[in-house]
Amino acid sequence: MSDSYFVHPRALCESSNIGDGTRIWAFAHVLPGAKIGADANICDHTFVENDVTIGDRVTLKCGVYVWDGIDLEDDVFVGPNATFTNDPFPRSKQYLDEWPRTCVEKGASIGANATILPGIRIGANAMVGAGAVVTKDVPANAVVVGNPARIVRYTES
């Protein structure tokens, strides 16, 4: 472990690619291939798989699992128990050769309990409302809510 970032004694961080000032809290598990930027906050009871990139100043609230194929750009906020998926047709013991890429662009926010389907792009500064089910790409600055998620307005920035 490096002195440049914090890992709680009850967390398991197997990656050495962690940015300065990042905090990884109790009962989080970060796999060896994960890349996490500077000043990120990885809260309790989170999981970060191998083929994942998490940018600078990202917040993952409690209960968030970030699976292979997911990229979170700088300044992204992911609310408690938001759910990412990475397999469009999951079957037990049947694995994809390559994961669809899901990207949450710079400054976007995802509300608590939202569900993000695989291969989705959430645009810069977009806002996904709590409990929304995102089934298609979200444009930059859009605010989406509901199931399926629909645009209700746009943000100023």
What is the share, in percent, of the chain residues with pLDDT greater than 90?
96
Domain count, the chain: 1
CATH number of the structural domain spanning residue 95: 2.160.10.10
How high is the pLDDT of residue 2?
59
Look up residue 80 and give its two tokens.
Answer: 């408690």
Q: What's this model's pTM, rounded to 2 decimal places? A: 0.96
**For residue range 103-127, what is the model confidence (pLDDT) as tens digits?**
999 999 999 999 999 999 999 999 9
Interval 10-37 mean pLDDT: 98
> Is residue 75 helix, strand or coil?
coil
| List of long-range contacts for 123-128, beta carbons under 8 Å, 24+ apart | 124/73, 125/155, 125/157, 126/155, 127/155
pLDDT band at 156; cut points 50, 70, 90: confident
Contact assessment for residue 88 and residue 119, using Cβ atoms and an 8 Å cutoff: yes
Selected residue with higher pLDDT from 35 and 3: 35
Interval 6-19 mean pLDDT: 98
List of residues 6+ apart from 119 with CB closer than 8 A = 88, 100, 101, 102
Domain extent for 3: 1-157
Interval 138-156 mean pLDDT: 97
Q: How far apart, in whole angstroms, are the C-alpha atoms of residue 102 and residue 116?
A: 9
Q: What is the 3-state secondary structure (H, E, C) of 88-150?
A: CCCECCECCCCCCCEEECCCCEECCCCEECCCCEECCCCEECCCCEECCCECCCEEEECCCCE
How high is the pLDDT of residue 146?
98
How high is the pLDDT of residue 3?
77
> Is residue 69 helix, strand or coil?
coil
How high is the pLDDT of residue 154?
98
